[in-house]
Structure 1
Amino acid sequence: MRKPYTEMDLITFQRKFGTEKACQKRLFSMKWPEGYRCPRCGCTTNYNVESRGLYQCTVCKHQASLTAGTVMHKTRTPLVKWFWAIYLLSTDKRGHSALALSRKLDIGIKCAWTMQHKIRAAMGARDAEYQLAGLIQVDDAFFNGGAGKGGDKRGRGTSKIPVLVMAATRNDAITFAKMEILERVDAGHIQNVIDRHVRPKQSIKSDGLPVFNVVRDMGHTHYPEVVYPKRGTPNYDALKWVNILVSNAKAFILGTYHGVMKKHLQRYLDEFCYRFNRRAWADQGFDRLLLACANAETVTYAELRQ
């Protein structure tokens, strides 16, 4: 049985996608896996307008770009460099700063920064298709969001951004992780996030914070456990996987990017979770991420700067 994704190492990638034509061919197969289909009328026949890089439907004459409907829409950067960016971001768990990517690909730092965020948007969109199931550990954590001082305690420091961390587990092993920024750590916002990311009637384990009681009202089985008792030793193992995720995500953001702004934090969390969720298929990383980028709407530089 043919694998849905191709496994490849660096040498294989370089050999397969060293030319613009090879990249175009691969993107075409990702975008139209069963052959060209007109986005307007559904016709399956076309001819190429090579001078403009377009595919024109033979029936309704609609012209479609290869990059339309992908994160690369209207790009002026060669696909070869896009493919390299996707490969680097999918295979290195440490990530790449915009400066490092700009040097490796010989592009401007503004271009590299924008490409990264477009790819992260595709990562987030891909993971949004999945809902968590099983025994799910849930807790809130606080991440730094730009300049400001403050410790890791709840609510301390104006630069602290609350994030709901969710880890689905099976047989005491984590299967899938999600993180989402909260406007406030209250029952309403927690309910909204869990409703979108967790399947109905699951088992949810949280700490003893009263706001998490809302999961019981949602129809889930709730297992609250006090992590920080008034007396005695904290029970860090109660939410072991959440704690590991938070620690690793903070090390990733601080080590590679040296902190991020609040308005961009969600995409960095999406990048971390995307790679973490596919850690068992690291050799398929490029193919999986290319497919995500081929099926995700783009985000513009102007939107990123708002």
Structure 2
Amino acid sequence: MSQQETMSLRKFKDKFPDEDACCKHMFQIRWPEGYRCPKCGHDQFYYIGTRKLYECKACRYQTSVTAGTIMHKSHTKLDVWFLAIYLTAHDKRGIAARKLEQDIEVSYPTAWLMLHKIRKAMGDRDAYYLLAGIVELDDAFFGGPTEGGKRGRGTDKTKALIGLSLDKQGRPQYIKASVIENLRASTLADTVKGLIQQGSVISSDLHRSYPCLEKEGYTVYSKEFNPNENPDHLKWLHTAISNLKTLIAGTYHGLDSKHLQAYFNEYCYRFNRRKFKGQLFNRLLNACIGTTTITYHQLVDGVPVLT
């Protein structure tokens, strides 16, 4: 990816003072070489100011700068969207809906929905990539067990599979996380294929399902996880998992399993771009532009969920 413009808060406010400035910026991103009709490719249009639509002079097809993005058909002004994306991109601990509600002065349901749309963009963007090379892999459990429920791998908490790739010096590189129904060999193999590139070396513990990954084109290196005897085994991964649990317990105060994957997506997206600093807004904005929207009812099936 080419070097992107850094964006401090002051620079952000100067560049996007109102909705018109945001619309112009969206136009430049959508059509960097000039307008092209999404339907017929014609390069001439009428601008319908009352509806903020671009109408093709050839086929009369109408489109907007937000069509095909997470902001499509949103009643929230574009400059408010830009601010929400900026704040979300730059808060490394994650921003709760209650906090965003106050910062951008919208209702709680609107803030909640905006954040979930942004998290969808984060997940969709990271879905383009797989972990590769040497990858630490382990399962983890989130939420609280029912009263009297089992602990450990027999728990009824939500199960997740976390993978962390390492660079040539053995330092953390990229991370992926997925909610998983169970740790049976077939389920594990299907999930790992969506996280890790075949041919990679997987470092794991001695769980009986991990050797099945050898049949899927992975090299599996397993040893017992014992912090006293093997302090370096999976150490980076367990640190990342601990940070993820702290984020969920601290910023979001625990989550329903229905939306847990969305928060995994957010954590992984931030972790994977931790070195980009001032480019975070531009990168997240481009992810939001490249992702189709999701509705409130699709998220909660018509039942409001407060997290």
TM-score range, shorter chain: over 0.9
- How many Å apart are 1:9 and its aligned residue? 0.9
Which has the higher mean CA deviation after the structures are superposed, 243-252 or 145-154?
145-154
Distance 1:153 1:67 in 2: 46
- How many Å apart are 1:194 and its aligned residue? 1.5
Distance 1:190 1:25, change over 3 A: same
Which residue identity lines up with residue 201 of structure 2 in the other structure? Answer: S
8 A contact 1:146–1:259 mirrored in 2: no
Distance 2:147 2:125 in 1: 32
Query: 1:149-179 deviations in whole A, cap 9, x for unaligned?
Result: 76862222x3x11100000111111111000
Question: Of 192, 195, 211, which residue of structure 2 is paired with 1:194?
Answer: 192
- How many Å apart are 1:202 and its aligned residue? 1.1
Tell me the equivalent position of 1:163: 160
Distance 2:211 2:145 in 1: 32
8 A contact 1:206–1:212 mirrored in 2: yes
Aligned-pair Cα RMSD in Å: 1.8
Are residues 1:281 and 2:276 paired? yes
Distance 1:47 1:138 in 2: 54
Query: 1:90-136 deviations in whole A, cap 9, x for unaligned?
Result: 11111111111011111000000000000000000000001111101
8 A contact 2:47–2:54 mirrored in 1: yes
- How many Å apart are 1:266 and its aligned residue? 0.3
Tell me the equivalent position of 2:304: none
Which has the higher mean CA deviation after the structures are superposed, 265-274 or 35-44?
35-44
Tell me the equivalent position of 1:250: 245
Tell me the equivalent position of 1:113: 112
Are residues 1:265 and 2:260 paired? yes
SS across alignment from 2:153 = coil
Distance 1:112 1:224, change over 3 A: same
Are residues 1:129 and 2:124 paired? no
Tell me the equivalent position of 1:225: 223
Tell me the equivalent position of 1:211: 209
Question: Of 232, 237, 258, which residue of structure 1 is paired with 2:232?
Answer: 237
Distance 1:205 1:178 in 2: 15
8 A contact 1:278–1:285 mirrored in 2: yes
8 A contact 1:142–1:152 mirrored in 2: no
What is the 5 A alignment of 1:44-123?
44-123=43-122
Distance 2:145 2:89 in 1: 26
Which residue identity lines up with residue 97 of structure 1 in the other structure? Answer: A
Which residue identity lines up with residue 99 of structure 2 in the other structure? Answer: A
Distance 1:26 1:145, change over 3 A: farther
Query: 1:187-240 deviations in whole A, cap 9, x for unaligned?
Result: 111111221222221111111111011211111111111114xxx946352111
Tell me the equivalent position of 2:286: 291
Query: What percentage of aligned pairs have identical amino acids?
Result: 41
- How many Å apart are 1:3 and its aligned residue? 4.8
8 A contact 2:145–2:151 mirrored in 1: no
Which has the higher mean CA deviation after the structures are superposed, 125-134 or 45-54?
45-54
Which has the higher mean CA deviation after the structures are superposed, 79-88 or 233-242?
233-242
What are structure 1's unaligned runs of at least 5 residues?
A: none
Q: Say how many residue pairs are matched.
A: 300
Moved over 4 A (4+): 145-152
Distance 1:138 1:180 in 2: 11
- How many Å apart are 1:84 and its aligned residue? 0.7
Tell me the equivalent position of 1:24: 23
Q: TM-score, normalised by structure 2?
A: 0.93
SS across alignment from 1:141 = strand
Distance 2:132 2:116 in 1: 28
Q: TM-score, normalised by structure 1?
A: 0.93
Distance 1:61 1:7, change over 3 A: same
SS across alignment from 2:163 = strand
Distance 1:247 1:214, change over 3 A: same
Which residue identity lines up with residue 98 of structure 1 in the other structure? Answer: A
